[in-house]
Structure 1
Amino acid sequence: MDLSYGEVKAAADRIAGHVRPVSVAPEDRGFLGGEVWLALEYMQHTGSFKARGAQNFILAHQENGTLPDAGVTIASGGNAGLACAWAAQQRGVHATVFLPTTAPKVKVDRLVGYGADVRLVGTEYADALAASHAYAAESGALLSHAYDHPLIAAGAGTLMDEIHRALPDLDTVVVAVGGGGLFAGIATVAQHHGVRVIAVEPANCRALNAAIEADDIVDVPVDSIAADSLGARRATRLALHAAQNYDVRSILVPDDTITTARHTLWNHRRIAVEHGAATAYAALLSPTYTPTPTEKTCVILCGANTNPTDLTK
């Protein structure tokens, strides 16, 4: 199962004018090797890259006449739900969003602000996912997914095309991985343009890394400070296919490095991102990946739905 570059290009045409083009900025910290850039996708609508896939999913179903009167439903750790609720509101569609009870209050409050019917179930994403499936079967609502759908992954992949247009001589892109929707989209486009991918996961949320190791999809424990956005128990088939067939390196970073990365971005750039987004930047602070002196690297800062009060302590 793979995602094609053509699907990403179709998504780009579909969502043009509905999402914000990404901005890139040079990272001038002296300790970093090579030439490093930051993709500021946390400035996207709803505060994360998820807006791209959500718009693509809803617009495609509206175009095809497959969006039911009951609207759309999704399970999410927060960001995908926000994006789905926002995209649904933009298109006049009802959205029912299931979240684990551990979801940050800042995300729950914003969901309510987008007019979503918010339902808190269980303590993990998997619990909310099961509840969304049951609700879709009962209500007839269209079931979306936080990451495991070609339309969602294709929408996410549009980000990489924009990065490549801004940095056409890019060598490497660094991206955080949860279930693998963003990664699959990024890796598909990166392969098309001859760009290497560094796939970064928390050491205790390693769904893709474990799948690569096992050569199959496997369930993993979820225990990380970044679990609210990267806490998938398993990676997608799309993600595993990309990791096995494209120029991809999978690395793990510990929670303390993720925390340091998040504070580093705040202290030196006044960028307040969530721990999931800081996971990508954490790769640069770990011994597992160091850009070479001639390497041009872009780190994707993918989300900012966080409570920033702890950054000033």
Structure 2
Amino acid sequence: MGKREMFYVPMKNRLLRCPYSFRAPYYSQANCAINHGMSASFLDEVLEVTGKLFKLPLDEKRTYSRDENGIDGYGNDVIYSDRQTLDWNDRLYLHVLPKSIRKFEKWPRPPQNLREILLEFTERLRVMNEIIVKAMEKSLDLEENRFLDQFGESPIVLARFNFYPPCPWPDRILAAKPQGDASGATYLLLDKEVEGLQVLKDDQWYLVPLTPNAIAFNVGDQVEIMTNGIYKSPIHRVATNRTRERETLALFFAPEPTREIKPVEGLISNKNPRMYKNVTDYSRNYFEYVQQGRMPIDAMKL
């Protein structure tokens, strides 16, 4: 699991004015965008806020702990079984959109500028997400909004602040176990100095390299369903580091839970038969599947 055993993912710079250069069939690769309109100083602020969150005293962090059966707040793995493998990380989940489901009582203060920074970062990525999803529609010769309509009027945006402390057993313990994402699309601001994210391709783990001021993004399970498997949700994991800590921020864009997600009709044919069931509230059982070492997307396949 060490760096010497890893190949590097060939990261692609997707110019947001022309992002549909990534084309089918069967896309399953890490991507990054550097021409996203966010300054290096702003992204530094985002990472600075992330670092401050995890440097709060333990007692203070506990006041923002996740509620039982809840998502928002500090914590790590929910225990479903005494046999499950726990991840070597701490994290803070916060729902950002729609406004009606924000739980500001779980938004730590300090840092005093957390709310301002996270809301601005989310709005920038919301615009970026719409551009990229429309680009995927265009790449598949679909009418506009065939995917965006499935997201609904009030799609979910969930932020996850990640802290990966040094681990004395990096060859035996993962910072995050192998999984796909329950989202439609995921955007990740990487640590500036320490690598760790790995993507599975052709049974080989590839290390995602650090790209200054880039936003990494990947398709989530729900867009894989919408595209009938043409765009794949990559399986990924996070490696630990023996001596250095690592901090990242991920934003997950997902359809409204009540929306029915299904393959778009224009992507189903005799040559490309339907591969997935219809599903609502895909995220509901996602975490339990992952903690059991199962891939939720497999349960959706016909």
Normalised to the residue count of structure 2, the TM-score between the two structures is 0.31
Q: Which has the higher helix share?
A: 1
Normalised to the residue count of structure 1, the TM-score between the two structures is 0.30
Q: Which has the higher strand share?
A: 2
